[in-house]
Structures are given as structure tokens and as C-alpha cells.
Structure 1
Amino acid sequence: MRNAILPLKQDTIDRIAAGEVVERPASVMKELVENAIDAEASAISVEIEGGGIDLLRITDNGIGIPYDEVRTAFLRHTTSKIRTAEDLMTVQSLGFRGEALSSISAVARVELFTKTANEMVGTHYQIEGSKEIALEEIGTPNGTTFLIRSLFYNTPARRKFLKSPMTEGNYIRDILEKLALSHPEISFKFRQNRQDKFQTPGNGSLKDTIYALYGKDVATHLIPVSFVQGDLQLKGFIGESVLNRGNRSMEIFYVNGRYVKSSVLSKAVEQGAVGYVMQHQYPLCILFLDYFGQEVDVNVHPTKQDVRFTDEPYTFEKVSQAIHEAFAGREDIREQELSQKQEKAFEPVLPEEKSEPMPEPFQADRLMAMKEAIVASIHKDTPYERQYTYRQKDLAVKEDVKDFTETAVDEPDEDEPVAVVEERYGNYEQMGFLSEESKKTHRLIGQVFETYWMIEYGDSLYMVDQHAAHEKVLYERTMKRLRHQEMTTQMVSPPVVVSLSLKEEEALKRHMDVFTSLGYEIENFGGREYALKGVPGNLFSIDPKALFTDIISNADNWANEKTSQLVLEKVASMSCKAAIKGNMKISAQEMEALFDEMMTLDEPYHCPHGRPTIISFSRTDLDKKFKRIVN
């Protein structure tokens, strides 16, 4: 028997609609914190119990909600952010759909405390399962506090699919960290099960916020990115090679202030970092892309984490260019510590955990002193504080500190080891190791293990990997010739015959002009067999069949029917096979010639596969090893 078509009840509609917005406690937190940001809050506190399932409390000092708009705010599709469909292309606020509060209140027990600056008293509103329980006036400070209890209490099927409270709490923390990074001018505090987990200073400094979330090791190994062209602006940081990861978990992107996940941006960053990041590793980056125009559509999915670019190829090209320029021109010689301590992956810096009763939402002093306390507690007595406060001090004070440090290290009593407190910030202060000027003071010590060359310069010992260095020289030399169409043809006799698949044959016919420009002379030999009568003269030392097969196998990745950067890099990478190897004895004169050519490169510090060509050891580390100074 067929069931009749009938309209659904409103509470059923609300619960179904809530499934699109409220997936888990983290999505509730995200919606409410974004509302707090849109409400111009300068301090936001997030407190959870039971992974946010039992209790999620969000307090802000924003503009609040007027008494006569509180009920309206909990209705579906009510918002102050947009008015027409055209507004979707220029929306600047984080929230605009008008679905969050109605969806949350449909599947949880919700309490709201709010007050605007113009009201004498605040408002207390209580709603459970879309049913209003109470609306009354109450004394409360300016701003808004939400208490979300018993999430999915009326939809047990949804609740049973949640993870453990610890996992759900980690989801909340991860999203809150992303929000904190996008708003360094706002002080964020996170408490879990009545213990402080992190707090950001809210002083407007992105680097200070990164330090608060991820620690000194990350904050002191960042490369600034700043790029503007036309309507596109990219800024933020990308990590030095020491921060490279085994996955993309620390590729963090924001578009017009909104955290997004974008394969276009990920691939663009990784393309720009080619040669600076080892294969199968990914750079740490925190990047903000702003488009001043209608070039971005964030109205793709209710989570608003997907983004669509009007011109994806242009975005890819410019982001890749910006990353390459950020890396280029930096002396990236990693200083090695002569220590037996194992390196640990970086961990966020956590304040000392203190278990305290959860304060009431209407205690006015909670947020008034939050920003000052956070700034003081994060930077108190830390090397990071010293590093960045020096910038604000008088130059004479800076010189005094410098002189004192140099005296402590450079002039020890020969009979007594010297105690030294030292913080490492990399080896980037001493620039120009590969400059013409510094080369005059290099002292070439010799070859070690027939693989590495040792050079003394200043207060450091440098080691050059002869294979990686020669790889880089050959790569750059070949790339230059390819870009300037300087490839020559070397005829081979007899011709090299290769058999192609149908797919490879189609690619060859489609891109024959590319192969010709590379120096190939190719004729059909019958069927799908082709004779290589001429091969690139500059790459003659490489197995011609292997080189051709490797190139043609990647032809499907070539864009726009013409030579792409991928082709050039593939050919140049193959040229590295002609580099001198490790365990190969070369003369000091040959090393000098190699070193001279390295100095002409824009970025000689990594081989084409991202491995370092040069590392250094400080004299201080050596002195410590021989107990001439002690920690």
C-alpha cells in the first residue's frame, strides 16, 4: 500500500537540516566562534567537557544581540550578513547562511546570555530541541555566552557515530587553532575538562600566535611570504627545511580570511618549493590569500571549507611564483648540532595545566583581564620574548647584549670551562657563505670519505656534498639551456628504436614540437615503433632510451599542448644522473671549479630533490664537545 505524500513537521525538518550544519561538537564550536568573530570580539574563550558533547561553552566580548532580536536569531535563514544573492560573491563575514543557531538548538540544550552596550540589562534565553524554554532579562556583561549541553540528546543515532570524547576534543582544538591563526588580533583561550590547553596573546602578531600554538622551534624557523600582483595578495610564512612534514597536515591556507582546504593551493605551494623540499616531504606553511574582487566563491558547501577560484591557472601560477621567490635568495645552510639527543617532532607549547572550577558565564572580570594575562603568561621569561622585544629596544641596549654574549663565549679562561646559555635560531645571521667576498677567506681543508668537502669559514665548519652540489649545478645549467632554447641535437647511429603504447603514441604525436625543441629527431619505424635518430646533445651521456621513455610517460601531465615547467624539470632531473658520485675522488682544483659554479646559482643550498648541498657546524658546538665550554 502506497504512503500518501505529506509535509513534514517543523521539528523533523529542523533535525534533518541540522545534519548539514551540525556534524559533531567541532562544527558547533566553529559556527559559534565565527559568530563571535563577526561580532567584533577581541577575546574569545572556548571551554569543553566530555569532548564538547556534554558541555561546550563559548564566551566573547563582542557587540551582543539585542533583546528583541534573540528569538529571530534562532529561526532558520535569518541573518544580518547578507540581503541578496549578489552579496554571496562579496561576502566578508565568516557566517552568512543563517542556519547555525536554528540547527544547533534543534539537537541540543542551548542557553544564551547576551548584552549589547546600549542595553541596561542583558538577556537570558533557553531553548531545547527547537522548543523555547525561557526568555528573560538578566544581569550580564557586554558580549555573548553560549552553553551547549547534551549534543544530539534527541537524535541518538547521530550521537553513537561520534568518536571518543578525547578525539572530539582534538577536533575542536584543531579548528580553534586555525581560527586563532586567522585572527591574531583576537585573544583565544581553550580549556578542556577544566584545564587550560592554550591561549594566544591577541596582540596582532601572527608570529606570536604561531609561537603560542606550535612553540619556539616552529616560530624561529619561518620564512616570510609577501607577494602582491593585481587583485591577488599572498602573505604569511613557509617553514624552513627543518620543519618539513611527511604529510600535508601543516599546509594551512586562508582565502579572504577564511580557512579552506584547497588542492589548487597545495599543489601550487609544492610546485614553488620544488628543489627546496625533499621528495615525499611537504612544507609547513601558513598562508593568507586575498582576492580584491569577485574571484572567489566560498558558497560551495555548508562547511565553507571548499573554495572555487574563477581563474585557477592564474592562482596556481602566482602562488607558486610567490613561494619560489620566498625561498630564493636565502642562505639556507642548516647548522647541525653535535649532540646525541634525538630530534623530536615539534609539539605545541602548553601552559601549565591547572584544574579549576569552570567559571560562570556572567562573571564580568573573566574577559576584561584576559588579553593582558595571556600576553604576559605566554612571553614571560622565554627566549622568544627576548628575541622579539629586542626589536623594540634602543640600539645601544642591543649592542650591549651582543657584546656581553660575545665576551662570554669568545674569551674563556683556558683552564676553566665556561657556562653558556645559548638559544639556537639557525645559521642565517651569517650571510654570504657563497659570495665572492667571503670566498677569499674560505680555507679548503680537504675531502672526507671521498664524498664530502670540508671548508672553514668564520666560526663555522662547512661540509659540501660533492654529488648533491654537482647535481644542482647540472640541473640549473640544463634548465637555463632549456628555457633559452639552447638544446642541441646529437645524431646517433644506429638509431635507438622504442616501442610505445597507444596512449604514449598519441602523446608523442600531440607534443612532437616539444620533443623537437628538446633536440630529438624522431621517425616512425613501423606500427607503434619509433626511431630516435637524434637525441638532446646536452644530455648525451644519459641513456637515450631511458630518458625518452621517462619523458613520454609524463606527457599526460603537460598542459595547454605546449612545453610546461614539468617537462623542463623532468629533463633537468634526468641530467643529474651525469653528476659525480659519492666515493669518487676529485682534486682540489675540480672542487674549486664546482664551488665557483655553485656561487652563480640563485639557490645552491639544495639539490633538485630537496636534499641539502651544504651543512655547517658551529665552533661553539665543537667547543662543547671538547668541554671547553659547558651548558
Structure 2
Amino acid sequence: MNIIQLLPDSIANQIAAGEVVQRPASVVKELLENSVDAGAKSVQLIVRDAGRTLIQVIDDGAGMTETDARMSFERHATSKIRTSDDLFRIRTMGFRGEALASIAAVAQVEMRTRRASEELGTLIRIEGSELKAQEAISCLPGTNLLVKNLFFNVPARRNFLKSNSVEMRHILDEFQRVSLAHPEVSFTLFQDDREVYNLPGGKLSRRIIDMFGKSYREQLAYCEEETPYVKVRGYIGKPESAKKTRNEQFFFVNLRYIKHNYLHHAVTGAYEGTLPEGSHPFYVLFIDIDPSHIDINIHPTKTEIKFDDERSVYAIVMAAVRKAMGVYNLAPSLDFDGNVNFLSGQGSATDRGRSDASGPRPVVPSWITGERPAASDPDMPRDRPRSLPSNYNFDKASSDRAETEALKKSSARNWQALFEGIAKPEPATPPTTTPPVSDWLPTAEPPVPEQPALTLGSKANQLSEGDDVQPDNIIQVQNRYLLATVKSGLLVIDQRRAYERILFDQFQSALTRHSGASQQLLFPKTVKLMPVDYQLALELREELTSLGFQFDELGANSLVIRGVPALSPTLGAATESEEDVFGNLLAQFREDTGKLKLERPEALARSLARRTASRYQTRLSPVECKALVDQLFASSNPGYTPKGEAITSVLTLDKIAGFFKP
């Protein structure tokens, strides 16, 4: 009659593995942290087939006795917890005693371990929680652990793994986090018998440079702040080194990597006013705090923690970053020695006060422009004010005054042009139906009279009947928005998002037809990539070629770019070089594929469109404004970006009138 029974250990371990071992990167994280906890000074990670076939970690740590080696594969067996109070004083990585038991439940595990004081070591083989062999062998001090054929007995879990490039990116992320947290330990990574990282032990600054490149040598600023409650230390990047993605931001609490949006906001708040829009700063920050003030067991992977006083930690982190920016003069400061009478440009100390044609122009006082000189001598003023210095340049002042008057007249004409046609009376003609928006849009082929007009299903077509956007009346505001008058009110278009939608359609079409046009570079560009981005570029070679990129391998994580997509509006511009576009594209692709479940072509088109849509920061001519609006409404979905962000919005007359109600 009894139906409740205890689960076998093998099944219980597989259930636990569902939380601990989600993918090969989870195994890498647990094994690397075990090596660090064992006091290793040198750790090697060997990966084959993105961890599906083999994950091997070799360290020179303390090693284990024969009994400890066998007990390490039992559930809830740990050397770090003795009483319940120890849960609130944890400073090591693992402590729950589930890692090796969970890994052994879903893989074929082989471990060799020996303590330095012993002559022989221990060999243990386990497959699916079943002990296959245990014997004494001769081996080096430390631990050598091999995990073969992950999920061999759980084919459903194995089928849910992503491509090798995606899984390898997760492994590299875990490797970077552990190696950054412990710069004093030497780490080496081999992928398919090829060395990817060789990081010697040393200072944190050297670890950052060895991992991310020599270009970071001049971009790092040391950050430190110590209080009785918490200590913050690490490095932050200069504002000019900010990237378009958030892949290089690391928080460590008691040497444990965490994700904390609240503390991230504290760092970005300290950078306020120094970063371009859409850029993210680099930082590697360590927070040392009494373990009794945090809870690290609120998430299975322990990447999320809770502070008992988050506001204090927030304030201290922000203060530490602001202090570092002030010490290293990273933030813009007021220049009390500069001449405030210059309209543009700072100029050097020797150039201040110059007013030649190539330098900045001084502001002309109002009393100079108030009265014209005598007709007999147009270059000299009629009366010289007593406050003028004897060597004042009246010729230059007269020239500046004429230029100022011309600028005023030009500005007046431009403003008057905005209101042309508004006050004109309508001609006495019978009312006609206003043509739809598609009538003035360019089409690739001449319209067929027999076919009805196509109406796109987006908010751009929810304009009331008779609304007609006049392309000649398109106005650009702050290089960010386009305004066009319609009968129901005012149509507002986000310029960057409009470019993103247009470019996405073009890139997606190029990927589908393999017909992306390439613009050859006069001088090929060499780009140095992160190992994860280098592997990604090689895997995406076919898709990148379809978009228009042409590149060759140089080895050592370097590529030579010979051609770039001709559709991209920012390639070759001064704001972003070809190397930056290529690197940012790969970083954006990694970020998008990590968050969204998209097919590779769509994800690549999204990433490139988002990276190259930065032309919204530039000034457009009236012809370019009209062309942008034309192309937007001719796209597949004029109302929204590929990410689902609104591109257009209509300010109705009622809404505008509401702004002026008393």
C-alpha cells in the first residue's frame, strides 16, 4: 500500500546535475574553482569538441588521499562545512559537495590525484554514478581530472546543447572569470590541441593586459576605496576606451564572480557625462566584505548574491570609481585658465588670444556691433570706447561683425522656410482624397494598375485618413529625430532606429541571396581579436562573406580585412574604423545570441544593423532626410526595429494643444 520510496543515488544525482551541470561551461567552472580551492599555482584546461568529448583540468594543488578521492564523488560531501555557522563564513568557491557527484552522474569521469607527501596516487573511474575502477597509480602531485562524453547517458540533454562556437564562448567566459579572480595563479587553455590562452601568474593589471590585449596598457586606472564595512579595489577603463557591448565588465565579491545590475548602475552613474550614448565602460572590480553581510546561496550557480545593506555598497562603489576618475583626470574638468570669449576649440596656451582665420573667433561685444563706422572710413569705428585696449584689432572686429550679420540673416531665412505654406490659403478646388503615403515613396518596379495598393501592418499606417507626409517639409532635430507634418498632427521618426530597420532588411536580403556587395579597401586592415571572437569569425566566414566582408587569417587571433559591406553607412567614416566595426559586430552577435533564440542569419543581420546604425549622430541634408523616410516606409516593417522598438510616433493636434493648456 505504500507508494513513497527513496530515489536511487544515480537518479538523485542526475536531478542535481540539472541545476549544477547545465552545459560544458558549468563543468569547467566547477573544476577550475576546485583547483583554486586546492591551492594550485598552475592550472591547465584542455577542451575538445567544445567540451562534448573532453574536458580536462590539471593542477598542482594539494591533491587528495585515497579515501578523500572516493568520498569527493558522494553527494553533499565537502571539506568546507562543519557546522551551520560555517554557511555564513564561506570564502571559498564550492561548498555544497554536489559538483563532482553531479558531473559523474552524466559523464564518464577519470581522476588521478596524489598528495606531495605520498609516494603513490589514486585512480578512480566512474560512469553514470557507477564506480568502474579504483586503484593506486604513480602520478604527479596534484589532481588530473578528465570528463569524457558529457551527457552520454542523457541524450535529451545532449541534444539541447548549442553549436560548438556557442558552447566554446561560454567556456571562455568561465575561464576568463576564474583567471581574473585569481591573477596570482597561472592558467593555460588548449582548444583542440591549440593554445588559446597562456596567462602567467602575476599582478591583476598584467592579467588584464595578457587577456584583453596590449591596447589596455594605457587605458587602465586603478580604483580603491576602503571602509570598515566594505573594500573596493580593481581597475576601470578610460571613457575613450568604452565599447558598444557589455562583455568586458566584471564584479567579484570575495573573489567570486557575480552579476549585479544595481552595482553596475553605480559604476555607470560615476561615468555620467563622459561616455558617448550607447557605450559601456570597462571595469574589473573586487568587493571584499564580511561573508556574514551577504547571502551567496540564492541562485544555483551562485552568480547572484544579496547584500544586507545594498545602498551603502552602491554609494561606496560609486565613490571609488569617481575618485579614480578624479585622480587620473579621466573626467572633463573646468578650465579656469582658458579664454571664455572663444566660441569653439580650446587651443594651446600659446594660441590663446589669437584670432586668425584658422583659429577660434572671439565673441564681439554688443557695443561694437551697435553702431556702424563712418562712411568715409568704413574700417574704423566712429567712436572708440574708453575701455578698449590701445592695440585692439578693429579690422578683425569689423570682419566678425559682418560675418555675424550674415549669419543672422541666413538663420532668419532658414526659420522662415520652416513656416512656408502653413499660412497660405487653400485653393478653391473641389476636395479630393489625399493619396496614401505609398504614393510618394520610391518603388523598385513601376506599379501595376490592376493590383490593389499594399498596406503594411504597422503603426506607421495608423495615421488617420488623409494624412500625407510632405517630404519637402522634413525637419531634422539634434541629429536624432526627423519631424514631418501630417494632417492629424506631427510625425516623429527616430533616425537611428530608422536606419537600423532599413539596414536590417538589406543585410537579411544579402544573407538570403548571398549577394552582399563588398567595398574593397585600398589598404587592408589588420584586426586583433579576442580568442572567442576569432573562433566566431572563422565559424561565420560564409555568412560574413555573404554580407560583404572579405578577410584572411593571420594566426595568433589576427585577421586581415580586405573588404567591407558596401551597404553600411558608417564604414570608412571617422567615427568608426573598419576594425572597430568588425570587432563590435562579433561582440554584438555574441551578446544577441546569448539573450535571444534566433537563427544565425537573422541574429547576424540584427547585430550588424545595430552596430552600423550609428549614422544618426551625423547631420543629414534635406535630400538625405527625404531618402531616409522613403526607404523607411518602403521597408518590411516601418513601425518597429528588429528588436521591437518603436520607430515612429504621431503627436496628434489634441496632444499638442494639451501642452499649452493653462
TM interval, shorter chain, is 0.5 to 0.7
The 5 Å alignment of 1:566-585 reads none
The 5 Å alignment of 1:153-552 reads 153-203=152-202, 205-292=203-290, 294-332=292-330, 434=335, 451-455=344-348
**1:453/1:464 contact within 8 Å kept:** no
TM-score normalised over the length of structure 1: 0.54
**1:226/1:234 contact within 8 Å kept:** yes
**1:478-533: CA deviations, max 9, x gaps?**
xxxxxxxxxxxxxxxxxxxxxxxxxxxxxxxxxxxxxxxxxxxxxxxxxxxxxxxx
Alignment correspondent of 2:45? 46
Letter in 2 for 1:74: F
SS state at 1:294 partner? helix
2-side partners of 1:329 and 1:6: how far apart? 65
1-side partners of 2:53 and 2:106: how far apart? 13
1-side partners of 2:119 and 2:83: how far apart? 34
**1:205-253: CA deviations, max 9, x gaps?**
0011011100111232011101001121000011001221223322210
Alignment correspondent of 2:573? none
SS state at 1:455 partner? coil
Alignment correspondent of 1:31? 30
2-side partners of 1:456 and 1:107: how far apart? 70
- Cα deviation, residue 6, structure 1: 4.0
Letter in 1 for 2:168: G
**1:296/1:309 contact within 8 Å kept:** yes
**1:294-342: CA deviations, max 9, x gaps?**
21111112211111001011111111111111112433499xxxxxxxx
1-side partners of 2:284 and 2:14: how far apart? 36
- Seen in structure 2, the aligned counterparts of structure 1 residues 172 and 59 have a Cα distance that, compared at 3 Å, is same
Alignment correspondent of 2:75? 76
Greater mean alpha carbon deviation, residues 5-14 or residues 95-104: 5-14
SS state at 1:267 partner? helix
- Seen in structure 2, the aligned counterparts of structure 1 residues 6 and 292 have a Cα distance that, compared at 3 Å, is closer
Alignment correspondent of 1:64? 63
**2:179/2:187 contact within 8 Å kept:** yes
Is 1:88 the counterpart of 2:98? The answer is no
- Seen in structure 2, the aligned counterparts of structure 1 residues 282 and 8 have a Cα distance that, compared at 3 Å, is same
2-side partners of 1:317 and 1:166: how far apart? 39
- Cα deviation, residue 150, structure 1: 0.2
Letter in 1 for 2:129: S
**1:115/1:123 contact within 8 Å kept:** yes
- Seen in structure 2, the aligned counterparts of structure 1 residues 457 and 20 have a Cα distance that, compared at 3 Å, is farther
2-side partners of 1:9 and 1:227: how far apart? 51
**1:148-172: CA deviations, max 9, x gaps?**
0000000001011111122211211
Identity over aligned residues, as a percent?
Answer: 36
SS state at 1:454 partner? coil
1-side partners of 2:61 and 2:327: how far apart? 44
Runs of 4+ in 1 over 6 A off after TM superposition: 463-466
1-side partners of 2:38 and 2:159: how far apart? 34
- Seen in structure 2, the aligned counterparts of structure 1 residues 301 and 65 have a Cα distance that, compared at 3 Å, is same
- Seen in structure 2, the aligned counterparts of structure 1 residues 324 and 433 have a Cα distance that, compared at 3 Å, is closer
**1:245-264: CA deviations, max 9, x gaps?**
22332221000110111112
**1:75-109: CA deviations, max 9, x gaps?**
00000011122211110111100000000000000
Greater mean alpha carbon deviation, residues 238-247 or residues 143-152: 238-247
Which structure 1 residue ranges, 5 or more long, are not aligned? 335-431, 467-610, 612-631
Which structure 2 residue ranges, 5 or more long, are not aligned? 362-616, 618-662
Alignment correspondent of 1:580? none
Is 1:115 the counterpart of 2:114? The answer is yes
**2:252/2:258 contact within 8 Å kept:** yes
Alignment correspondent of 1:127? 126
Equivalenced residues, count:
357
**2:17/2:106 contact within 8 Å kept:** yes
- Cα deviation, residue 434, structure 1: 4.6
- Cα deviation, residue 3, structure 1: 11
**1:108/1:129 contact within 8 Å kept:** yes
**1:231/1:293 contact within 8 Å kept:** no
- Seen in structure 2, the aligned counterparts of structure 1 residues 82 and 4 have a Cα distance that, compared at 3 Å, is closer
- Seen in structure 2, the aligned counterparts of structure 1 residues 200 and 464 have a Cα distance that, compared at 3 Å, is farther
- Seen in structure 2, the aligned counterparts of structure 1 residues 20 and 311 have a Cα distance that, compared at 3 Å, is same
1-side partners of 2:177 and 2:74: how far apart? 28
**2:240/2:275 contact within 8 Å kept:** no
- Cα deviation, residue 10, structure 1: 2.4
Letter in 2 for 1:452: G
- Seen in structure 2, the aligned counterparts of structure 1 residues 217 and 120 have a Cα distance that, compared at 3 Å, is same
**2:109/2:147 contact within 8 Å kept:** yes
**1:167-196: CA deviations, max 9, x gaps?**
211211111111111101000000000000
- Root-mean-square deviation over aligned CA pairs: 2.8
TM-score normalised over the length of structure 2: 0.51
- Cα deviation, residue 465, structure 1: 10
**1:88/1:299 contact within 8 Å kept:** no
1-side partners of 2:35 and 2:359: how far apart? 53
SS state at 2:200 partner? coil
Letter in 1 for 2:347: M
